[in-house]
Amino acid sequence: MTRAAAPRVDKFAERRAELGAAALQALAELGYARTSLREIAQKSEFSHGVLHYYFKDKLDLILCSMRQYKARCVVRYDQVTAEATSFDELMTGFLAVLGETVRREAPLHRLWYDLRAQSLFDEGFRTDVAEIDKSLEKMMWRVMSRFAELAGEPLRLPASVIYATFDGLFQQCLLKHLSGDRQAISALQKNVRLVVVQLVGAPTRLQ
CATH code of 164's domain: 1.10.357.10
Q: For residues 154 and 175, is the Cβ–Cβ distance under 8 A? A: no
Q: Are 65 and 51 in contact (CB under 8 A)?
A: no
Residue 67 lies in a domain: yes
Has residue 150 been placed in a domain?
yes
Q: Is residue 205 part of a domain?
A: no
**Residue 126 falls within a domain, yes or no?**
yes
CB 27 within 8 A of CB 40: yes
The reply to whether 129 falls in a domain is yes
206 located within any domain:
no
Distance from C-alpha of 187 to C-alpha of 64, rounded to nearest angstrom: 32
Per the structure, the complete domain to which residue 22 belongs is given by 2-200
User: Does residue 135 sit within a domain?
Assistant: yes
Count of domains forming the chain: 1
Rounded to whole angstroms, the Cα distance separating 84 from 82 reads: 6
Alpha helices per DSSP H over the chain? 2-30, 37-43, 48-54, 58-83, 87-118, 126-151, 159-178, 184-200
For every one of its 207 residues, what pLDDT tens digit does the chain have, with 9 covering 90 and above? 455 555 555 888 888 888 888 788 888 887 877 777 888 877 777 788 888 888 888 888 888 899 999 999 999 999 999 999 999 999 999 999 999 999 999 999 999 999 999 999 988 889 999 999 999 999 999 999 999 999 999 999 999 999 999 999 999 999 999 999 999 999 999 999 999 999 998 776 543
Residue 185 lies in a domain: yes
How much is the pTM?
0.87
Of 121, 115, 123, 134, whose CA–CA distance to 58 is shortest?
A: 115
